[in-house]
């Protein structure tokens, strides 16, 4: 596996004052541990995460992870294609919501 930049979370910054344990788990377990495991590249983890968020209809988290995916080397074209592909597996309304979210993120 090639060297990749370290993945970090923003749980403490975003919600640490309100939900300190969730912030700790987000930063120390999800990002510091799981996202930095070497068995999958961050790019692959990003594609998997985006797919899961599209499938679940989780647009707030999708906004963040679309940006993270691009930081990890996934192109806008690849993300649009992934969402288009998912339309047939997770449902048209979820894909339409996700593509609208992606359009907003990419144009920001």
Highest mean pLDDT among 4-8, 32-36, 50-54: 50-54
Query: Whole-model pTM?
Result: 0.89
Q: Grade residue 11 by pLDDT with cuts at 50, 70 and 90.
A: confident
Is the CATH code 1.20.120.350 the one for domain 40-108? no
Q: In the chain, where are the structural domains located?
A: 9-39, 40-108
Q: How far apart are CA 17 and CA 20, in angstroms?
A: 6
- Between 76-90 and 92-107, two packed helices, what is the crossing angle to 10 degrees? 160
């Amino acid at each position: 596996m090639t060297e990749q930049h370290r993945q970090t979370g923003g749980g403490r910054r975003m919600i640490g004052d309100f939900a300190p344990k969730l912030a700790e788990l987000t930063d120390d377990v999800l990002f510091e541990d799981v996202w930095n495991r070497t068995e999958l590249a961050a790019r692959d983890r990003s594609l998997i995460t985006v797919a899961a968020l599209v499938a679940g209809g989780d647009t707030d988290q999708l906004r963040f992870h679309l940006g993270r995916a691009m930081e990890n080397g996934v192109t806008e074209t690849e993300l649009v294609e992934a969402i288009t592909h998912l339309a047939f597996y997770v449902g048209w309304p979820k894909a339409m919501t996700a593509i609208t979210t992606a359009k907003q993120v990419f144009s920001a």
